[in-house]
Homo-oligomer: A and B are copies of this chain.
Amino acid sequence: MGSPIYLKIVEDIKSKINSGEIKPGDMIKSENMLCDEFDVSRMTVRKSLTVLASEGYIYSVPGKGNFVNEPNQDKYILYFNEMTSLEGSVEDTQLLDVNIIKPTMEIIFHLQIPENKRVVLIRRVFLSDDNPVAYDVKYIPYYRGMPIVEKEIHYATFPEIVAKKKSLFAIHKELKIKVQKPDEEIQDILNIDVTEPVMAIEQRLLDEGNRPIGWGVTFFKGDFFHLQAVSTFVDQGNSIY
């Protein structure tokens, strides 16, 4: 009962959408009509419509009206973190090496750097019960004076490694998720045979200007790993707060 008027309007319109009374593509009542219907000022109605729009229910076209959105069926929220996404989580991390190398063509492509530019290579193994469960390879463009402190790299996630000073807000990330038959190197490191499938998660980090600042792949032993995702368009309990 204590809930504000604008939320009542939000609920009213949501229920009309959920029940199918108004369908995707339909125009909803105009703002002025809603003002009359609920006997409120236009700003209050607009507050409601802002909420509905930010939750993806409607969109507005200036000069025409507000319209019901197509539900975005294929959109999910995914949580991923190479350090914590493992079942039972990682107990220890083993830093295989940190090296400054000449980039391969693949690395040049992914980091979009000149051929003569050097690259920092970081290789780690994640352990659970003293058994290797993931193998992690990362490439970062090298610049003079870069602080490559083993201790810092040991337990850091990729964005943390790259963004020593930058605000993490500015970093854009892309994941590519694949299954893979382990090659000999991976079989060796993860102590598995060729029939054990591996989840390969490729991470690309980009700065504000969409310039690559890091690229890497983490190979997870299949039986120690899964991802979960949930659809958007969840009525988040009308989270007051």
Residues of A near any B CB (own CB < 8 A): 17-20, 23, 43, 50, 54, 57, 71, 73-81, 84, 157, 159, 165-181, 194-199, 208, 222, 225-231, 233-235
Cβ of A172 and Cβ of B230 under 8 Å apart? yes
CB distance from A18 to the nearest CB of B (A): 5
Q: Which residue of B lies closest to A76 (CB)?
A: B78
Cβ of A181 and Cβ of B222 under 8 Å apart? yes
CB distance from A22 to the nearest CB of B (A): 10
Cβ of A226 and Cβ of B19 under 8 Å apart? no
Cβ of A177 and Cβ of B177 under 8 Å apart? yes
CB distance from A97 to the nearest CB of B (A): 25
Q: How many protomers of this protein does the assembly include?
A: 2
Contacts of A23 in B (CB 8 A): 167
Cβ of B222 and Cβ of A175 under 8 Å apart? no
CB distance from A14 to the nearest CB of B (A): 8
Task: Classify the secondary structure of A's interface with B.
Answer: mixed
CB distance from A171 to the nearest CB of B (A): 7
What are 6 A-B interface contacts by the 8 Å CB criterion? A20-B166, A75-B79, A171-B231, A175-B229, A178-B226, A178-B227
* Contact residue among B57, B169, B178, B231 (Cβ-Cβ distance under 8 Å from A233): B169
Q: Which residue of B lies closest to A196 (CB)?
A: B181
Cβ of B79 and Cβ of A172 under 8 Å apart? no
* Contact residue among B17, B170, B199, B228 (Cβ-Cβ distance under 8 Å from A174): B228
Task: Please give 4 more A-B residue pairs, beta carbons under 8 A apart, in addition to A17-B169, A180-B222, A195-B195.
Answer: A175-B230, A177-B226, A179-B199, A208-B235
Cβ of A231 and Cβ of B195 under 8 Å apart? no
Cβ of B222 and Cβ of A178 under 8 Å apart? yes
* Contact residue among B77, B157, B228 (Cβ-Cβ distance under 8 Å from A177): B228
Given the known inter-chain contacts A176-B226, A195-B195, please indicate yes or no for A208 contacting B73, CB distance below 8 A. no
